[in-house]
Chain A
Amino acid sequence: MKKTLSLVIVITVLLSIVLTGCSSSTEQEAPDAKGPGGTSAVTSSEETKALKIGSMFNNPDPANQGGWDISQYKGMKALEDDYGWTVSIAEAIAYPQVEEMVVSYIDKDYDIVVFPDNGMIETWQDMYPKYSDTYFIMISSTATVPDNATNTTVYQADQFTYGSIAGIVMANMTESKKVGLIGGSPIGSVKYQFSGIIEACKAIDPEIEVSIYFAGDWSDTARHMELTNIMIEDGVDTFFAMTGAGDKGVYEAAAAAGAKVIGYATDMYEYAPNAIATSVLFDFASLYAQIGQDVMAGTIEQKVYPLGIDYMKLADFRGSVDADVEAAINDYVEKFRTGDFKVDYVIHEDILN
């Protein structure tokens, strides 16, 4: 009996190894997509028709969880259809494992590696000077590019402006004059974004109270739900969550209490139709399409590209608020876009305490 069981286990393990080996060899047979030689992998339009792009997300299931990740995931994947590039996306990569993941991409001759979130800045800073044949793209709200860089570009999301738009929506929607913000972890980009929300609320109605809670984690659904419940008990009726997979806890608690949530980066309505009022979209589809065009044309530059208000817009409200509220929100956002409505640029350092 014991021998038979042991034999079954050994065979299963061996089969797993063989099957894994088969899948590896299939991957190696993909078209040779190594970029042109020289200092950069993305300098010639002729030779970049089958580029290989690798990226990795800290959260699991970036295609379906956390607005920031979903938006970027879809943007990157669109490059496969638009240009026939190979786009590989790893998920649930802890920050200390990012370097190992990037090295494995480089070992497999990937031409471009995209770092999609702020938590990967340190790894990005360490790696791009070491691997000059690979091109590194950093999506961040705080990263900068040194003058001598030849193989990296930063797309800098203006989180304060983004937060201001979210704040405009929340300030117009709240009836209790209490809005709630939930962050995964207290990181730099959260500080800018939540500051924008606080200042926009203040500019519209100084009486609005803004509560801020951190889950200390991007994925713990139960903890996110409890934080939402705490704020609901306190009278908060409008929420915004800058977090990852834990956002489902926010939606569930808000939906149960009849409160509303502003979706982050992606139109989150399809993921939580009972809770989402609208979403402030970050247009990563356009960003990645632009990256694709620049790479193909060989015009991508080693600098910081700002991702400002042109990349932000509101998703459809689908009747979640009264028509006059929706009209007021759209009016404020339009005035903010044109500069007729101003939000004081004040960064609340204490948010990260």
Chain B
Amino acid sequence: MDWIYIGNFIQASVRAATPLVFGSLGVVIAERSGTRHISNEGTMLLAALTGVIGTKYFGNMAFGVLFSLVIGAVCGLILAIMMIWLPSNQTIVGIGFNMTMVGVTSYILRLGGDMLRSPVPAPAVKVLRFSLFDVFAIASALLVWFFLFRTGPGLKLRSVGENAMAADAAGINVIKTRTIAMVIACMFSSLGGMALSLSWVHVFTDNLTMGRGFIAMAAVYFGKWNPLLTTLAAFMFGGAEALALRSQALSATISSYYFLMIPYVLTLIVVAISGRMKGPQDTGKSYIRQ
């Protein structure tokens, strides 16, 4: 094993982890405010497509990212209306949203034809060997941690997720706080989708996310809803995926599936050893003001 191999491995791990980091930060923000963000997968998938659409339409990746962030925010608002305002069962809405997005993105892909199927240019700007998405993912983790644990609005957001009724009694607008949190959460999830389509594979294909939104959720549970621990967990999962693919070269007599299941076995193990997961008390519970 040489330094080049190690460098390539680290780079592959970061590539695989970046979408998970953004996705998991979205889940942290939503669930810290009391809203279950199962729709993370669907939001990432939609953003992966809209990022490509925006980049092609405006001819510039920065505008593509902005366009996709706006779509992500709109998505967050729609989800907030369904899960917070109406309010509907958050788990069912999340599952339904994910399934709908698989169909919607595939349908749009077909409407877009060859224009959408063709690749987008790789990001030109790199920091060392990492893309701006990779760098911004780490910066985002620090920012989200600072916001949640070192600012007043962050404290309000967490209090809404821990005990909505008490927060309401203290004068915090629960519905408004959760709505804003959901919008921001979906924008982070969108960055996760774009990190996949724009920064990693440079193309959109059907169901591109392939369950990475759910792995991001597992990272959140392993990281106990803490942005920094969650980011660490996302990097661990990214590293496990990179290792799983590289491990196939180690032996011709061992089934490739043995190596490919490493990230998922790791997920099970870390969830098992991380003990009882005590998330924000009111996560997943609808709040109806009495």
How far in angstroms is the closest Cβ of chain B from A140? Answer: 22
Any A CB within 8 A of the CB of B86: yes
Q: Are B245 and A222 in contact (CB under 8 A)?
A: no
Residues in chain A near residue B208, CB distance under 8 A: 221-222
Q: Are B245 and A223 in contact (CB under 8 A)?
A: yes
Q: Are B206 and A61 in contact (CB under 8 A)?
A: yes
Q: Are A65 and B200 in contact (CB under 8 A)?
A: no
Instruction: Produce 1/0 per residue, A252-272, CB < 8 A to B.
Output: 100010000000000000010
Q: Are B206 and A216 in contact (CB under 8 A)?
A: no
Count of A residues near B, CB < 8 Å? 37
- Given known pairs A219-B205, A229-B12, the reply for A353 and B254 (CB within 8 Å) is yes
How far in angstroms is the closest Cβ of chain A from B180? Answer: 18
How far in angstroms is the closest Cβ of chain A from B237? Answer: 13
Any B CB within 8 A of the CB of A325: no
User: Contact partner of A220 among B12, B210, B252, CB < 8 A?
Assistant: B210
- Given known pairs A2-B85, A2-B86, A221-B201, the reply for A230 and B109 (CB within 8 Å) is no
Instruction: Produce 1/0 per residue, B193-222, CB < 8 A to A.
Output: 000100011110111101000000000000
Residues in chain B near residue A197, CB distance under 8 A: none
Instruction: Produce 1/0 per residue, A205-218, CB < 8 A to B.
Output: 00000010111110
- Given known pairs A213-B256, A214-B256, A230-B245, the reply for A252 and B205 (CB within 8 Å) is no
- Given known pairs A214-B260, A222-B200, A252-B119, the reply for A61 and B207 (CB within 8 Å) is no
Any B CB within 8 A of the CB of A248: yes
Any B CB within 8 A of the CB of A24: no
Residues in chain B near residue A350, CB distance under 8 A: 252-253
Number of A-B contacts (CB under 8 A): 96
Q: Are B16 and A222 in contact (CB under 8 A)?
A: yes
- Given known pairs A213-B248, A226-B16, the reply for A248 and B203 (CB within 8 Å) is yes
Nearest B residue to A229 by beta-carbon distance? B12
User: Contact partner of B206 among A214, A234, A245, CB < 8 A?
Assistant: A245
> In the bound complex, how far is the Cα of B252 from the Cα of A234, in angstroms?
17
Any B CB within 8 A of the CB of A6: yes
How far in angstroms is the closest Cβ of chain A from B39? Answer: 17
How far in angstroms is the closest Cβ of chain B from A227? Answer: 6
Residues in chain A near residue B4, CB distance under 8 A: 233
How far in angstroms is the closest Cβ of chain B from A246? Answer: 8
Within 92-114 of A, Cβ neighbours of B (below 8 Å) are at: 92
Q: Are A226 and B245 in contact (CB under 8 A)?
A: yes
Residues in chain A near residue B246, CB distance under 8 A: 230
> In the bound complex, how far is the Cα of B207 from the Cα of A114, in angstroms?
25
How far in angstroms is the closest Cβ of chain B from A95? Answer: 16
- Given known pairs A186-B256, A226-B12, A248-B201, the reply for A65 and B249 (CB within 8 Å) is no
Residues in chain B near residue A186, CB distance under 8 A: 255-257
Any B CB within 8 A of the CB of A64: yes
Any B CB within 8 A of the CB of A314: no
Q: Are B205 and A221 in contact (CB under 8 A)?
A: yes
- Given known pairs A220-B210, A222-B210, A226-B12, the reply for A252 and B255 (CB within 8 Å) is no
Q: Are B201 and A353 in contact (CB under 8 A)?
A: no
Any B CB within 8 A of the CB of A22: no
Q: Are A225 and B201 in contact (CB under 8 A)?
A: yes
Any A CB within 8 A of the CB of B81: yes
Any B CB within 8 A of the CB of A188: no
> In the bound complex, how far is the Cα of B129 from the Cα of A335, in angstroms?
47
Residues in chain B near residue A92, CB distance under 8 A: 106, 206
Any B CB within 8 A of the CB of A67: no
Q: Are A226 and B203 in contact (CB under 8 A)?
A: no
Any B CB within 8 A of the CB of A249: yes
Q: Are A216 and B260 in contact (CB under 8 A)?
A: yes
- Given known pairs A60-B106, A211-B249, the reply for A252 and B256 (CB within 8 Å) is no
Any B CB within 8 A of the CB of A5: yes
Q: Are B207 and A60 in contact (CB under 8 A)?
A: yes
How far in angstroms is the closest Cβ of chain A from B167? Answer: 22
> In the bound complex, how far is the Cα of B246 from the Cα of A233, in angstroms?
11
Q: Are A5 and B201 in contact (CB under 8 A)?
A: no
Residues in chain B near residue A229, CB distance under 8 A: 8, 12
Residues in chain A near residue B176, CB distance under 8 A: none
Residues in chain B near residue A233, CB distance under 8 A: 4-5, 8
How far in angstroms is the closest Cβ of chain B from A16? Answer: 12
Instruction: Produce 1/0 per residue, B75-103, CB < 8 A to A.
Output: 00000010001100000000000000000
Residues in chain A near residue B252, CB distance under 8 A: 350, 353
Any A CB within 8 A of the CB of B242: yes
User: Contact partner of A252 among B15, B201, B241, B249, CB < 8 A?
Assistant: B201
Instruction: Produce 1/0 per residue, B5-23, CB < 8 A to A.
Output: 1001000100110000000
> In the bound complex, how far is the Cα of B16 from the Cα of A277, in angstroms?
29
Q: Are B106 and A61 in contact (CB under 8 A)?
A: yes
Shortest Cβ-Cβ A-B pairs, 5 listed: A60-B206, A216-B260, A214-B256, A221-B205, A220-B210
Q: Name B residues whose Cβ lies closer than 8 Å to a Cβ of A.
A: 4-5, 8, 12, 15-16, 81, 85-86, 106, 109-110, 117, 119, 122, 196, 200-203, 205-208, 210, 241-242, 245-246, 248-249, 252-257, 260
- A sample of 14 cross-chain residue pairs with beta-carbon separation below 8 angstroms, ordered by A number, consists of A186-B255, A213-B256, A214-B256, A216-B260, A219-B206, A219-B210, A222-B16, A222-B196, A226-B241, A233-B8, A234-B249, A249-B201, A252-B119, A350-B253
**Additional 19 contacts, C-beta under 8 A, given A92-B106, A223-B210:** A2-B85, A2-B86, A61-B109, A92-B206, A186-B255, A219-B206, A221-B201, A222-B201, A223-B245, A226-B15, A226-B241, A230-B245, A230-B246, A233-B4, A234-B249, A248-B119, A248-B203, A256-B122, A353-B254
